[in-house]
Amino acid sequence: MSHYQAPLRDMKFHIDEVLDFASHYAGFAQGREATPDIVDAVLESAAQFAQDVLAPLDSVGDAAGCVWKEGEVTTPPGFKAAYENYIANGWTSLSMPLELGGQGLPASLSGFCMEIHATANHAWTMYPGLSMGGIQTIAAHASDDIKTRYLPNLIAGRWSATMCLTEAHCGSDLGLLRTRAVPAGDGSYRITGSKIFISSGEHDLTDNIIHIVLARLPDAPAGIKGISLFVVPKFHVDEHGRPGARNAVRCGSIEHKMGIHGNATCVMNFDEASGYLISPPHKGMACMFTFINESRMGVAQQALAQMEASHQTALQYARERVQFRAAQRPNPEAAADPIIQHPDVRRMLLTQKAFAEGGRALSYFLAKQTDIERYAAEESAKETADQLLSLLTPVAKGFLSEVCMEATSYGIQVLGGHGYIREWGQEQHFRDARITSIYEGTTGIQGLDLLARKILASRGEALKPFVQVVTEFCQQYPNGPYTATLQKQLQSWIAMTTELGMKAMQNPDEVNAAAYDYLMFSGYTVLAWIWAEASSVASAALEKSPSAPDRAFYTAKLVTARFYFERLLPRTLSLAASMRSGVANLPEFPGLE
């Protein structure tokens, strides 16, 4: 049962009032066409497509799933027609450069639309979503010849892309991968090996599928430093970008999985398939992180999308479902009251709202940094944006995917038995959401990336750009509703980081033992800044015009911010206690026999 409505008012609050994208776009060439009226028109068009086309297919894709037969995959009914509609209306080319056939609009605007589409249909959106990462990877690292052959059709949406990383024996430990690449003598390579868990690896939506593949050259050193990156097309591509004969890459099977049934998760077999090197030899992982980081932000979007969709259904149900008498009764004559009158139901709904809207604000802040990194003229601005993205991408991906599971579980709980059955779609949101904390690096891996590779490895320098962002906010809103609380929380984060760094010098295992809790602590702290800023902007709007038509909207922001600071942020206290308990309560064997 789909009643999805794109949350355009909340989106525009963050785009227009909090982050001032109008001024941001006016500051660089690629953004000047994205005037406020153009942005509004694009978002409204994206919402219409999501509501009318994609949302009705969400349950269809879940029920029908993908069908594998003799190496070919058929997507669920309606998926192909929706994709044809999608490319016909130019969604794939929205933020691509004009010289490559794109529309030349900013990357952030494309990201706003992708959020709308993912909320309507997570599984379907993965097909074009993965192509974005493939395009960015080829554009950043491939030769001009490869760019000419592959980018125009990828940007037009006639072809799609995948990322082929993991193998059955290595999981996330890519240093163990065995797929090999042997020079063919003509500038190409023969790629042989098997990759698993390849989203969108085979399907019937596009004329060609371009696989971005990690493999080892014959002289590769062992480990992560011996990996190279290749482009391997499903169909050979000539020098003019025209597809030809079938390449030696096949889908061996598709996975039967918990959720996202509408997306084909494939085993891809390469049997001396022709591939082309797009990284320097043995430098493939560094290049692949262009795709990985793009995908991690996409996963953060998927997490907030599932929270938004689940919240909309839960809120509608809670307003209409009548059960039990509330202590504060709006209608004393009624036999029972809408369940939204019960404080515990409001607790669950507000938790969903705080995480979904907070996640949206974080996603948009990072989208703005992506624009700056790509388009800014000043190198210092680019560098700061890159630093913020490096620090906050694992937070966005890891934290939002974890709280997404809590929020979608509450979506089931609000509906009770009706949430557990399929009719309302809540159990699908929970199942679809579960993958977000696994793919593109599990939460534990995100925590280690944040704490070990980013913060401790830099001796805390990685934190400084974000500390500066928060400091500037506190200076702008010294009397904001939660400015003082935010300052205290930021100091707690810095102190905890220092404490863990000292412990790690005595025992390196302390980093792994604390990484998950540290990531969650960081996420709650970052969202404290998000909600402090949102409440300050909403308060200022109410002071300026107390009788504004949007009074209820701004008041809801203040209510949700209070809930966040008083009910959710205190979770950091238990996380701090857990981190301080150290690795000693995680023995290697006792209790795990």
List active site positions. Answer: 440
Q: How far is CA 22 from CA 29, 102, 541, in A?
A: 13, 21, 18
Beta-sheet pairing, 189-199 with 265-277: antiparallel
Helix 122-141 with 79-88: angle, nearest 10 deg: 50
Helix H, strand E, coil C: the string for 125-167 is HHHHHHHHHHHHHHHHHCCHHHHHHHHHHHHHCCEEEEEECCC
Beta-sheet pairing, 243-246 with 235-237: antiparallel
Q: 44-72 as b/e, with b when 16 or more CB fall inside 10 Å?
A: eebbebbbebbbebbbbbbebbbebeeee
SS3 (DSSP) at 365? helix
Burial of 419 (0-12, 13-18, 19+ CB in 10 A): buried
Q: How far is CA 95 from CA 6, 29, 99, 305, 366, in A?
A: 21, 13, 12, 21, 16
- Both tokens assigned to 402: 């974890």
Let me know: does 317 contact 414? Beta carbons within 8 Å.
yes
- Both tokens assigned to 248: 């030696």
Unique residue bearing structure tokens 């043995």: 282
Strand stretches in 216-264, DSSP E: 228-233, 235-237, 243-246, 249-254
Q: Give Cβ neighbours of residue 47 (< 8 Å, ≥ 6 apart).
A: 5, 6, 8, 116
- Written as one letter, the residue type at 193 is G
Other CB atoms within 10 A of residue 383 CB: 14
- Give me the residues paired with residue 186 across strands: none
